[in-house]
Amino acid sequence: MDGYSAGRVLGPLAPYADGFVVELVERGYRPRSVGCQLELIAHLSRWLGDQGVEPGGLTPAMAERFLEVRREGGVSLRSWRALDPLVGYLRRLGIVPKLAASADSPVDGLLADYRDYLLRERGLTAGSVAHWERIARLFLAERTEPLEDALQRLSTAEVTGFVVAQCGPGGRSGASAKILTSGLRSLLRYLHLTGRVPIPLAQAVPRAAGWRLSSLPRALEAEQVQRLLASCDGSTVVGRRDLAILLLLARLGLRACEVARLGLDDIDWRAGELMIRGKGSTTERLPLPHEPGEALVSYLRDGRPRADFREVFLSVLAPLRPLSPAAVVGVVGYACDRAGMERVGPHRLRHTLASDLLRAGTPLAQIAPILRHASVATTAIYAKIDREALRALARPWPLAGGAA
């Protein structure tokens, strides 16, 4: 509590001020930010006292009235986002209710059940569940009558019409269309399983056009990879963290989600191995090469903030939190900016590793386990970049007059 005067907080929130400051410090807030949040809780506490309202009465309407007072006063921290740290702290203590804008709608209730089914019964990852839930919400939002009646009368024509509207001219195409149709089939199977839809409609979902392995993997040149790595300033916390991330992507071919999930307990320093948590809740062990291993040690010793999280990679700005897969994508994008390159995603580094292995003569059957592909057929797309090997298979083009 050194340097902070929580004693100036008067009113119904005064008993919680000390604990709030401690949490802010533990979550990595800088002294100036802690002081601003302390001013906010002091103002809110005085205002609640003037209104004769206890902390448990901090409803959405009351919170909005308080924020309006701050806006009229021309002070900072006057948005709903500004209240998040304080309200989150009070909610975890069970002091205030969730500040929801409105009661859950029938769609929200159904989606909550669907989300629970995907997590518990299907065993999907949180990322996959989020994709399927967005598609389900999009489809259910188009039901115009009461949801229960709309689902009981749901027809094949409505299902196909939705897909055509989403994937027709000017709409989704390729991989995005395939994700949408897969998510819609999943939702329809669940609705029929739970009796909300009387007839099975999953088979009525049209298949999105697509040709497996039709694209050509785009690898980076070795010089481009080195530029990305060299763009990380090893004298800074961000630089040490980003270098470790880029080396895991480039030398081990990890996916963004696998980097984000990597935990402190997943590193076996004695064996020199990493436990990788991949797609479909699978786990596999990979050797930890010297270069990314050194970068991890540098980050963990001199860069990673002290926090209770077990994930390896954390944000550097408060509130401290584990990096999401999207944040890992951002790390690669910012490295491209620093290197003066066109932005690429983490998967380009994965493609680069596979392409380099193939050019070095590594058989596809050995590349598949390195990339953690469930089937060698998925790895077969990289055969198309080995032009020298393919040239031997190409038949000569017949010349005019019949001569070959």
Which active-site residues does the annotation give? Answer: 255, 279, 347, 350, 373, 382
Rounded Cα distance, 218 and 159, in Å: 36
**Unique residue bearing structure tokens 């769609």:** 107
Distance (Å, whole) CA 243 – CA 332: 10
Exposed/middle/buried for 34, CB within 10 Å: 0-12, 13-18, 19+?
buried
Residue 402 is encoded by which pair of tokens?
């019949």
Angle (deg, nearest 10), helices 325-339 and 346-359: 70
CA dihedral 346, 352, 357, 360 (to 10 degrees): -160
104-110, Cβ contacts within 8 angstroms, sequence gap of 24 or more: 106/146, 106/147, 106/148, 107/137, 107/140, 107/141, 107/147, 110/140, 110/147, 110/196
Q: Coil, strand, or helix at residue 49?
A: helix
- Amino acid identity of residue 88, one-letter, is G
Classify each residue of 189-204 as buried b or exposed e, where b means 16 or more C-beta atoms within 10 Å of its C-beta: ebbbeeebbeeebbeb
Residue (of 264, 243, 249, 254) closest to 312 by Cα position: 264
Please report, as a single letter, which amino acid is at residue 404.
A
User: Which residues sit opposite 249 in a β-bridge?
Assistant: none
178 C-beta neighbours (distance < 10 Å), count: 16
**Nearest 10 degrees: Cα torsion 183, 184, 189, 193:** 100
How far from 186 is each of 139, 315, 404, CA to CA, in Å? 12, 34, 53
Return the closest-CA partner of residue 272 out of 299, 297, 298: 297
- Whole-angstrom Cα distance, residue 162 to residue 121? 27
User: What token pair was written down for 238?
Assistant: 């961000």
